[in-house]
Amino acid sequence: MDPTAPILLFDSGVGGLTVLGALRRVLPQAPVIYAADMAGLPYGDKSEAEVAARVAGLLGRMAERWHPRLICIACNTASTIALGMVRDVLETPIVGTVPAIKPAAERTRSGIIGLLGTEATMRQRYVDDLASRFAAGKRLLRHGANGLVPLAEARMRGEAITAEAVSREVAGLLSQEGAEAIDTVVLACTHFPLLADELAQALGPGVALIDGAEGIARRIAHLTHGQPFHRPSPDRAVTTGDLGEFRTLGEAFASYGITRLEKL
């Protein structure tokens, strides 16, 4: 194993930074390339065929260019749609990001779990299978909150985000029958933990917010256990979109240890 081979973190935008933060805590020495498909953002309102083709195509190009030791699809929508396809076509180990339904089911006391993600994630059979496997006997209330993604992106650009704007996006969850008994909410989009304070206020006291970032980081650490790591140059973030616009996120990336922002 080349010790300079990076871990590639891929997301539609900056949501994957929540995974990067967890990864830094368990593998601080690992070289990382963060890839943001800003030209394709958002994924939540795209068709399954469009997301699958885009993700597989981009990851194929990136694997050929950078030869990563492991690829993490740090995006629930991309993972629930394209994970199987990408694993079929690439030899690189792939770690996906899927809704943290299992830990939520273990934590809930009321048996009523909220699931917040993009509309595309909410309609996937993958989510149905996770619910059947890990949350049998529990009630799962789903809500597609696509509007939280641009709010999270704006937050990371340093723009002011109001609690009212976040509340409007989760109103569809709280208006469902039985929602008053929700005690656990799965944040099934890596962007959503970036709005944790506003979400906690909107959902009310006593509601636990669960996301999968720590579990994903542990999985990556397990799969790379014993491998040598060497970072010969600073980590970088690349974008498929406009570089000037991407640089407005410079402070956010710097807070995660990335100061090199480049065009893919």
| Residue 229 in tokens | 């790591």
In 10 A of CB 2, how many CB atoms? 10
**Contact in structure between 252 and 155 (CB atoms under 8 Å):** no
In 3D, which of 142, 160, 153 has the Cα closest to residue 194? Answer: 153
CA-to-CA distance for 189 and 97, rounded, in angstroms?
9
Tokens 């994957």 — which residue?
16
Residues assigned a catalytic role: 75, 189
Element housing 62 (H / E) = helix 48-66
82: nearest Cα among 108, 106, 51, 61:
51
- Residue 260, both tokens: 């090199």
